[in-house]
Structure 1
Amino acid sequence: MNYIDLFAGAGGLSEGFKRAGYSPVAHVEIDVAASYSLRTRAAYYYLKESDRLNHYHSYLKGDITRKDLYSLMPQEILDSVINLGIGDENNQKIFSLIDKNLQGNNEIDLIVGGPPCQAYSLVGRARSEHGMKKDSRNFLYVQYANYLEKYKPKMFVFENVLGLKSAGGGVYLQNMEKLFYKKGYSIHIFSVKAENFGVLQKRRRLIIIGWRKDFIPNLPDLDNYKSGLTANVSSLFADLPAIQAGEGKDKFLNYTANKNEYLEAAHIRNEITTLTQHIARPHALQDKEIYRIAVDKWNNDKERLNYNDLPDRLKTHENRSSFFDRFKVVAADLEASQTVVAHIAKDGHYYIHPDELQNRSISVREAARLQSFPDDFYFEGVKEGANRTAAFKQIGNAVPCLLGQQIAVEIKDLL
């Protein structure tokens, strides 16, 4: 079964479908860094399937360059990652590139992906002067529908934020449903919780599953899905070396313990022996003092830090009437962390490591694990080498791999 991934990001949703046995025809993504991540992941799968994974391991160790890695791949696989923005100005070119990959032999079974969510999110609307009403991203679902009309997949999976239900007073979702129906598709809208799919993170998302009107699928109940895979957040950090703010290595670091039951069941640690991107951002001394207070408050009193309770000398933000929890610990003893969002690329205040001795925000690898990305997934930047900010952004924008995988498995029989 094949699929096209639109607005692919770094490929979290795609990773889930690939694991479930689907075959990607193309990934379409506007961000340059994320497109490199998709190509590197394609290299992983190509080398794994051709029994040459040792070359990928060499890349993770820093023994070969990204250019060297890509030279081992067929050009058509590299070209299947299409680094263009979806829209009227690029669609014909994207269509031709996808058609080239299809070679006229196969129909498309599935289209997956969801447009950027900022225009629909409650936070995005709160921060926007016009409540995101003038944001062109409000209408990217129209472009999505153009791809449904062009390739007529049997089904599609559209992921977005819960705020889509209320955006524009609900009119965007209503118009979306009408447009998809006009293109030949009925839809069902699910509100899912990532932790029900084994992800150790509270993440609420809208999943729209659409199907061609020439068949009626027996859809899974994603609203009430339970994978049965649970653990405390401490399971995600147990085998990682302790590092301080500003420390860590982009490539070739060693684990400090064997993988535990959760890391194995969630496919976070598999055959890989090289730890990458366990890099922590540096912090100002004042922030580190606040982090210590926040960690101490949680570990000893099980209370979250309220910004207004800090000593006056540590309060530098003028806004004292909202965002009281802007400094928040990723609590090790809970079964799910707070939601990982793209803002983590700007600062780590909302993602403080629970170990007071490390006194830092979480590393790139720790954030990736919260999103259930496997450790052999490497997040690229535009330039080769350590790209902490680009990696954080891709991770925060991603769909958790475990969520994607379980959805893929559930609809597999329908296809």
Structure 2
Amino acid sequence: MRTINFLDLFAGAGGLSEGFLRAGFEPVAHIELDANACKTLKTRSIYHYLKKNDMLDLYRTYQKTYNKSEDVKDKAIEKLLSYIPKDQLEPVMNIEISEKTLPYIFQEIDCRLKHMEHEGIDLIIGGPPCQAYSLVGRARDENNMEDDPRNYLYKLYIRFLNKYKPKAFIFENVPGILTAFKGNLFRNLQAYMRRVGYNIQARKMDAKDFGVLQSRKRVIIIGWRKDLEFDYPIFESDDKEFTVNNLLEDLPKINSGEIYDKFRYRKKINKYLQNTQLRVEDDIITHHIARPNNERDLEIYRIAVETWNRERARIKYTDLPERLMTHNNLTSFLDRFKVVAGDEKYSHTVVAHISKDGHHYIHPDIEQNRSITVREAARIQSFPDDYYFEGPRTSNFVQIGNAVPPLMAEKLAYWFKEKFEII
């Protein structure tokens, strides 16, 4: 059987596609608007090629540039690319998906399919940006996000279904998509998908049921062409005896504002990291840099961790001493300071807002007294340690917060692989 191919729309940093790559699927292209996310995708493509050709030592050298200047990084990437034939890299299109760009995008995909000697696309995966559908986003916007053009990006996703008629697709988004505009948006989305030839089912899923140590609820819409039979996958909950501390315990201890650049782990690999391949024996540590904080925030962090350790309770902003309160809003968003519960089986959801500040993601170790680093956030999202995020720290956090956890994606991918083998 030939390799099953897939097209990744609104690809972000590649969390969803990473799961399908691990399962042996071949990418036709990744399409993404954000330039830094595209750089991350290209670097990951380099990683996959070098790993397959036993040249990971070159990649390890590049990883060590993570805290260097952009000029140093650019030269290092050029050197890596000199070892790789151009047609061996996974195509990444840094472009907005819009009515205006669709003809060009379709032309590029058609050329890629011809080069791959594939007659068509087997699977389309992805999910439009979710901010317009999120409950928090709607609550913060005075117009309930009704004027946001991202509300209708699903129609562009469906244009790809109509053009390429893949056997199946995955459309991933936040639970808020079910209730946006009193449910009318979701009803329209389903109607469009059925109209272009697909039977669909949608269910809420939680990443913690897929071995991810994070509670992250998502709506997963799965569709198959009407000429094919399918049933929605049923996954047994992967509820192992691990805690969030198992994600963090081997990483070097650092304090607020510190940079770790020794690349070495504090402890040997543990069972959870080994089982999930978040870390392998020859890995090195990158992106382990702690945000600087002022003394007021550090005091609040200590109070938050002490309260959790003593009472297993979250602090409300209004619980703080008056001298530490600087916000005028004392009626909403009172959970703005939140500890990542290291002794629980899963963390609360990592979202893109972590790029603004780390107050909602305080490290559970009071001795370190800081918010989590990019590498720690990536681990909570189940990105492996060899995943290199391009761009500044703010962008790294956005890429991670918007991603589909690769572990979750991998289990979906293997289910699809089994289905494709029998149709």
TM-score, scaled to structure 1: 0.95
**What's 1:87 paired with?**
98
Confirm whether residue 210 of structure 1 aligns to residue 231 of structure 2: no
Secondary structure in 2 matching 1:278: coil
**How many angstroms apart in 2 are the aligned matches of 1:266 and 1:173?**
34
Aligned counterpart in structure 1 of residue 140 of structure 2, from 113, 123, 127: 127
Report the 3-state secondary structure (helix = DSSP H, G, I; strand = E; otherwise coil) of the residue aligned with 1:117.
coil
Question: Aligned partners of 1:120, 1:163: CA distance in 2, in Å?
Answer: 5
1:280-338: CA deviation from partner (whole Å, max 9, x where unpaired): 11111110010000011111221111110101010011111111211000011001111
1:68-107 map, 5 Å: 68-78=79-89, 80-103=91-114, 105-106=117-118, 107=120
Unaligned 5+ segments in structure 2 are: 66-71
Q: Which residue of 2 aligns with 1:404?
A: 409
**1:152 partnered with 2:165:** yes
* In structure 2, distance between residues paired with 1:414 and 1:96: 29
What's the counterpart of residue 153 of structure 2? 140
Conserved? CA contact 2:27–2:90, under 8 Å: no
Partner of 1:296: 306
> Could you tell me how far apart the structure 2 residues matched to 1:37 and 1:230 are?
32
Superposed counterparts of 1:14-413, under 5 Å: 14-62=17-65, 65-78=76-89, 80-103=91-114, 105-106=117-118, 107-222=120-235, 225-249=236-260, 253-381=263-391, 387-413=392-418
> Aligned letter for 1:295?
V
Worse-superposed segment, 272-281 or 345-354: 272-281
Bigger drift between 133-142 and 72-81 goes to 72-81
Cα 1:272–1:391 shift into 2, 3 Å = farther
Equivalent AA in structure 2 for residue 10 of structure 1? A
Structure 2 match to 1:384 = none
Question: Alpha-carbon deviation of 1:72?
Answer: 2.7
* Cα deviation code 1:203-230 (max 9, x no counterpart): 10000000000011133125xx312445
Q: Mind listing any 5+ residue stretches in structure 1 that lack a counterpart? A: 382-386
Match of 2:68 in 1: none
CA RMSD of aligned residues (A): 1.4
Per the alignment, in what secondary structure is the counterpart of residue 158 of structure 1? strand
Offset at residue 75 of structure 1 (A):
2.2
Q: Which amino acid aligns with 2:215?
A: K
SS in structure 1 of the partner of residue 407 of structure 2: helix
Give the count of matched residue pairs: 407
Could you tell me how far apart the structure 1 residues matched to 2:375 and 2:398 are?
13
Structure 1's consecutive aligned runs of 4 or more residues displaced over 4 angstroms after TM superposition are none
Matching residue within 10, 13, 16 for 1:13 = 16
Q: Which amino acid aligns with 2:21?
A: K
Is the 8 Å Cα contact of residues 278 and 363 (structure 1) preserved in structure 2? yes
Partner Cα distance (2:178, 2:208) in 1: 21
Q: CA deviation at 1:402?
A: 0.7
Cα pair 1:280 1:363 within 8 Å, conserved: yes
Stretch moving more, 125-134 or 266-275: 266-275
Deviation at 1:271, TM superposition (A): 4.1
State the secondary structure of the residue aligned to 1:186: strand
Paired residues of 1:218 and 1:414 also in contact (CA < 8 A)? no
**What letter corresponds to residue 23 of structure 1 in structure 2?**
E
Amino acid at match of 1:356: I
State the alpha-carbon separation in 1 of the partners of residues 38 and 184 from structure 2. Answer: 32
Residue type matched to 2:97 in 1?
Answer: I
Q: Distance in 2 between matches of 1:400 and 1:304?
A: 25
Per the alignment, do residues 313 and 228 of structure 1 end up closer, same or farther by CA in structure 2, a change over 3 Å counting?
A: closer
| Contact 1:112-1:156 within 8 A present in 2 as well | yes
* Percent identical: 52
One-letter code of the match for 1:29? E
Task: Please tell me the residue identity of whatever aligns with 2:20.
Answer: F
How far, CA to CA, are the matches of 2:14 and 2:240 in structure 1? Answer: 22
The answer (yes or no) to whether the contact 1:108–1:153 under 8 Å persists in 2 is yes
- Find the residue that maps to 2:419 and give its secondary structure: coil
